Amino acid sequence: MKTTAFTSIHESLGAKMVEFAGYYMPIQYEGLNIEHEIVRNSVGVFDVSHMGEFWVTGPNALPFLQKITTNNVAALTDGKVQYSCFPNGEGGIVDDLLVYRFNNEKYLLVVNAANIDKDWNWCVKQSADFGFTIGKDLINASEGYAQLAVQGPLALKAMQKLTSANVIDMEYYTFQVIEFAGLSDVLLSTTGYTGAGGCEIYIPNSRAAHLWEKVFEAGEEFGIKPIGLGARDTLRLEMGFCLYGNDINDTTSPIEAGLGWITKFVDGKDFIDRPLMEKQKAEGTTRNLRGFEMIDRGIPRQHYEICDENGAVIGEVTSGTQSPMMKTGIGMGYVDAAHSKIRSEIYIQIRGKLLKAKIVKLPIYKA
């Protein structure tokens, strides 16, 4: 298993460590529910150094990204971040990702840990039409970076103590390269996977221990705590954020996954699978990804059947948990289009019983 620059720190703090996407990662410290509530109410820190980073540079960077991603990269300005996905040429999704624009000829792609090799091979394959030199115009820098996600309503207030740059007033999905915690050229972006606010900080591995120390010193007065990946999953599910491998994959289209908002049919953007996705948007899909909340008591889990009132199967749960904030079962799943209207009642097959739930508008948890 791979480790991150923070692994020894996690172990020294007594974290429960598990294999995740080929990495040795902390799943929890004090307990999932406690950690979840810390992020929702104050500030917590995740090690997300397992994420992948690709640089795309040169005069063909923008045309390349317009081809391989669904969102309109041309709409970005310097310092902006965009959520997007790679269509796979067969109506599915290679991965979802973030696109950072430094300038018209320099972009950073941040991809999921489990898909780094897959995404890299896909990007290399697609770059053949753009004359890229691998290692120059397209660089896999994933092994060189450490990343902390400092999340929660007090996160930016705490991090402001470590820099003279104005981070507390940064807009959502923007970034700066700043002096931070006594370190130069630190990338700080107002992104995250929790819906609780905060930032993500990228640095070379060699600076990781120093960053950890300074971040926790700055956050001490706000009750800052290290948080495991278990709470990261429950936090993202309350927000209805898709998890690759669960809610989206190579067989799901962004349209049926509710990601039409990152699928832009603008003039001049001839992205992979555009004709198919335009047709889906115009005609509708046979199934839709929906969030739901349990009415009856029960905890939904991935692959549980979604049924109608007569027990006929109308879909499948893709993600499910007990919401730490709502104290009830919540989930996401694909539901036949005819049964996918918001506020519709559905039933989840749990241990041989049909338990009632209702389809809700995302986010599932309304703070």
239 and 117 in a common domain: yes
The DSSP line for 241-258 is ---BTTTB-TT--TTTTT
Give the length of the chain: 367
Contact between 4 and 50 (Cβ < 8 Å)? yes
Residue 278: how many CA atoms within 13 Å on its side-chain side?
Answer: 11
291 and 276 in a common domain: no
237 and 204 in a common domain: yes
**What's residue 6's pLDDT?**
98
Query: 53: closest CA among 91, 104, 110, 1?
Result: 110
Quote the DSSP letter at residue 264: -
CA–CA separation, 298 and 112 (whole Å): 30
Quote the DSSP letter at residue 280: H
Domain residues for the domain of 357 are 286-367
Residue 199's DSSP bridge partners are 150
Domain at 174, CATH number: 3.30.1360.120
- Tens of pLDDT along the chain (367 residues) come to 999 999 999 999 999 999 999 999 999 999 999 999 999 999 999 999 999 999 999 999 999 999 999 999 999 999 999 999 999 999 999 999 999 999 999 999 999 999 999 999 999 999 999 999 999 999 999 999 999 999 999 999 999 999 999 999 999 999 999 999 999 999 999 999 999 999 999 999 999 999 999 999 999 999 999 999 999 999 999 999 999 999 999 999 999 999 999 999 999 999 999 999 999 999 999 999 999 999 999 999 999 999 999 999 999 999 999 999 999 999 999 999 999 999 999 999 999 999 999 999 999 999 8
Per the structure, how many domains does the chain have?
2
